[in-house]
Every structure is written in C-alpha cells, then in structure tokens.
Amino acid sequence: MQFNLHHRCLGHTGGVYDLIKISDKEFLSASGDRLVVAWNIDNPEQGNLIARASDSIYSICYLPNNNELLIGQAKGEIHVIDLSTNQEKKLLKVNDKGVFSISENRLKSKIYVLGGDGVLSVLNSNDYSMIAKKKISSMKLRSVLFDESTNNLFIGCGEGVVTVFDDDTMELLNSSQLSNQGFSINTMIDFSEEHILCGGRDAHLRWIQKNDLKIVDAVPAHNYAIYRISSSPNEKLFATASRDKTLKIWDAETKQIIQRIEQASDGHLNSVNTLLWIDDSTLVSAGDDRSINIWQLSY
C-alpha cells in the first residue's frame, strides 16, 4: 500500500492554507494570495478562479444547502459567496483578528468561527445572525469539534488547552492542559465513539477520552508542529500534515505509520498546511510551497 503523486496543481502565488471538497471530483483551495480556486480531479491541470478576497485567506467552508462559500480572512472578516454566480452576498465582520477555522454543524444549523483573538463565534447558517460569542483564550483558537452524542463542543486553544462547552448553553464543562503552555492544539478529529485525536505545535499526536479529557495514548509524530489531521472516509487511515515539510499516512487501528512523504518522494518543499480526502484512495495536500499535490493509493 502506497500513495503516489498523481498530479501537482500549480498557480497560487502564496501559501495554501485550506482545502474543501465540494463534489465527488471537485475541491477548492484557499491561499495567502487572496484567491479561492476550484480544481477537478479528472482535469487537474487548470484551476478555475472562484473568488478574489480583500486579504489573505486562512479558512473556507462550503455550505451545500445554501450553495454558498464562506471565506475567512486575516483581519477577521468573512465573505459569503454565492457559488451559482460566484458573487459576494455578504461581508461579515466576526473577529478582530484572523479567522483560522470555519465549520458547519448541519444538524443544528450552526457555523463555528474560530478567531486569532481567542473568540468563538457561533452563527446561524440560514441568515448568518450571531447566536453566541465567547472569549475562550488569550491566544489563537485553531480547532473545533462537535460531538453529537453528548452535545459537547471541544475547542483547541493556543495555550495547549482543550476546553469543553455545552453546545446549547455555552456553559464550560471541562478544560485540560494537554501540552506545555503556549504549544497550541491546532487540529482535532473524532477518532472513535469515546476518543478524540489531537495534534499541535509540540508535534505530538494525543488520543484523549471525550468524557474526561484524559490522555490514553501519545506519539511524537513529527519534528515540528502538526497543522492538520484528516481521516479517510472509511476511517481506516488518517493523515497528518506538519511544519516539518512532511505528511504521514497512518493505520487507524494500529496507530502505526504506513508512509512518510517528503521532498525526496515528490513531497512538499516547505510546511504542509492542510489535507483533504476526496475518497478512500485519493488524498490532497497543500502548503507553503504554493503547490497542491494529489496523491493516489496503489497496492
């Protein structure tokens, strides 16, 4: 089992910070060059410009029910783009600093916005009205995870803390220092019914229990900060992206590395910032070298 480079998509003139899937074959990339570009797996040579923002783009979120795209910028603004016309519908001023993450909770018609000012904003996905706004950290907020079974919202903070809130009342339920002070929790995924997998600035992967935030396993996974963890659709594999210029493919059951991809094996020249699974055998990575790499699984 090995992932091989299928195609390298070029055209961005700034680091690529986020990737999102919009169909079985299409995905969008967002960059510090202020552009959002659409790519097709079957025809990856040419990207199509979707939007040009007024500032560097840190995060994007696709709302399929609205057919709208949210673009989070470096100065705390969010552009709302109608993808049927590629025209801006709204400009939302949400945070005082960069919007590092935008994610939709489709079950509850909510959007979670994480800011560089340490503020969590919760918007209504139907009309973008503000449901709640809460200062959580004195540092950046990087990662959020909603657990449907408990109605809990997990937030990864710049101090290396994970906090847990009731999603309805925003009551603080729990908080735990997972890494050393100042070593941010950059990324989290739902790993199992009981566990969350976290990664951050200290380059460790940590499996924590949802009910009490206790660490059940930890692995020194990279040489520098982990920026993204992403699980394959069938949840048999997960991938990690790091500032150490590598991405790694892991077996979810054994927690062992299957493949390390670096510059010598067609990988990235600089920090790997983000990852996206198109399907179980197609993984997309992007980073500070301005390239978007499409990887195909072969046996």
**What is the C-alpha separation between 221 and 203, in angstroms, rounded?**
6
pLDDT at 182: 85
Tell me which amino acid residue 212 is. D
Instruction: Return the percent helix, strand and coil in the chain, to nearest 5.
Output: 0, 60, 40
Could you please report the per-residue DSSP string of 113-138?
A: EEETTSEEEEEETTT--EEEEEE--S
Residues of the chain falling short of pLDDT 70: none
pLDDT at 181: 85
Q: What is the pLDDT of residues 98-125, one digit of tens each?
A: 999 999 999 999 999 999 999 999 999 9
Structure tokens at 149: 């079974």
H/E element, 21: strand 16-21
pLDDT at 265: 85
Q: State how far the alpha carbon of 294 is from the alpha carbons of 9, 18, 41, 284, in Å.
A: 8, 14, 8, 5
pLDDT at 299: 78
H/E element, 240: strand 237-242
Residue 109, CB-side half-sphere exposure with 13 Å CA sphere? 10
